[in-house]
Amino acid sequence: MSGSLEVRQFLLRQEGGEGVVGGVPAQRTSAADAARISDDQVRRARLAVARGAYGVDDCAELLDMLGLAPDGEGHPPVQR
């Protein structure tokens, strides 16, 4: 992917500069948890999109189309 550093910088600006944390998400235990999309899942989805994007504009467009771009309050539509 060309411009991967540029895409990573874009994502860091979108997420407020938070670091990447590895690990496996905890198992969901209730029906209410099963319907909720966690912050970690959103972060991982954004990284997957960034890895496949051709540049910053492509990444931004894909994030918006998938509901992963933050709204005015900082929450992605996928979590509403």
Q: What is the mean pLDDT of each run of 10 residues along the chain (80 residues)?
A: 67 56 52 69 90 92 90 80
pLDDT at position 32, please?
Answer: 57
pLDDT at position 20, please?
Answer: 42
- The encoded tokens of residue 44 equal 């991982």
Rounded to two decimals, the pTM is 0.57
pLDDT at position 60, please?
Answer: 92
Residue with tokens 């492509």, as numbered in its chain: 58
Rounded to 5°, the CA angle 43-63-48 comes to: 50
Q: What are the backbone dihedrals phi and psi of residue 2, each rounded to the nearest 5 degrees, phi first?
A: -85, 140
Contacts 24+ apart (CB under 8 A), 49-53: 50/4, 50/7, 50/8, 50/10, 50/11, 51/1, 51/4, 52/1, 53/1, 53/7
pLDDT at position 26, please?
Answer: 55
pLDDT at position 58, please?
Answer: 93
Biggest CA pair distance of the chain: 42
pLDDT at position 79, please?
Answer: 76
